[in-house]
Structure 1
Amino acid sequence: MRLTIPAAGAYLVVLRTATASLAARADFTLDDIEDLRIAVDEACALLLVSAVPGSALECVFTLSPGLLRVTVSVDSFDGEPPSKDTFAWTVLSALAGEVASSTGPGRRVTIALAKRRGDRG
């Protein structure tokens, strides 16, 4: 599933709700669902800091048995991925289990995360 929303904090509730709904349909535990909601919110917050005004934030959800992958990307001013030496990245990694960032094409920055059902990070 692919969702595209304006790159503004006011619209993140849409992604948090979609994340929770997909995780619930995939029989994730309540703790896993909450971890995913917070992780997606945190990933978006990291990206929005350098998002080009008026750009779109794209979120792709991929479900497979016992696994939910979420990829969030945005066009940024500098094309630099978020620093992995921050408290925010540590929290994101603990909540999601698997986290990676990448850049390109152009100045597009992406954060990809994956959560396995029952994995407490």
Structure 2
Amino acid sequence: MSAAHRTDDPTSRVELRLAAVADRLPILRAATEAFALVSDLDIDAVTDLKLAVDEACSELMSRASAGAELSCILSCNGDGVRVTASAALSVDADESSLGSGFGWHVLRTLTDEARISHAHAEAGVTVIEFVKRR
């Protein structure tokens, strides 16, 4: 088993925290691609994962409160890669469209499981979590 597949190995998890603005998406895409490649995903799965991260983070960024930070955690286990993206949403953000519509359909098509939850309700933090298996 390679080091990237051991859950106790610090290289099996990467966390990125950056401003929740769209011009940071290329950083997320590049980091996702590198992480997926060292996690032994095939090229099609790497492409799907990059697109899924782009879709999830775009949705959060478009609704994020001014000055919010986006957190994106990539973790690998023997089964595949799990992504957890979160951001504090604006008070007037339309959360009802999260989890529906074309963007959500794309995300669910590209991944093996996906869900949305609300952590730290008082802070308005929304979490999108999904898994891409090998």
What TM-score, normalized to structure 1? 0.90
- SS of 1:49's partner is helix
Post-superposition offset of 1:84 = 2.4
Residue 103 of structure 1 contacts residue 109 of structure 1 at CA under 8 Å; is this kept in 2? Answer: yes
Number of residues of Structure 1 aligned to a counterpart in Structure 2: 117
Residue 100 of structure 1 contacts residue 111 of structure 1 at CA under 8 Å; is this kept in 2? Answer: yes
Residue 81 of structure 1 contacts residue 103 of structure 1 at CA under 8 Å; is this kept in 2? Answer: no
| 1:86 lines up with 2:106 in the alignment | no
| 1:28 lines up with 2:45 in the alignment | no
Structure showing the higher helix proportion among its residues: 2
| 1:114 lines up with 2:127 in the alignment | no
Equivalent residue, structure 2, for 1:103: 118
Larger Rg, first or second structure (1 or 2): 2
| Partner Cα separation in structure 1 for residue 34 and residue 66 of structure 2 | 29
Greater shift in the superposed pair: 77-86 or 108-117: 77-86
Residue 46 of structure 1 contacts residue 82 of structure 1 at CA under 8 Å; is this kept in 2? Answer: no
What TM-score, normalized to structure 2? 0.82
Letter in 1 for 2:100: D
Post-superposition offset of 1:35 = 0.2
Runs of at least 5 residues in structure 2 that lack an aligned partner in the other structure: 1-13
Identity rate of aligned residues, in percent? 33
Post-superposition offset of 1:112 = 0.3
Post-superposition offset of 1:62 = 1.1
| Partner Cα separation in structure 2 for residue 81 and residue 60 of structure 1 | 24
4+ runs of 1 displaced by more than 4 Å? none
- SS of 2:45's partner is helix
CA RMSD of aligned residues (A): 1.4
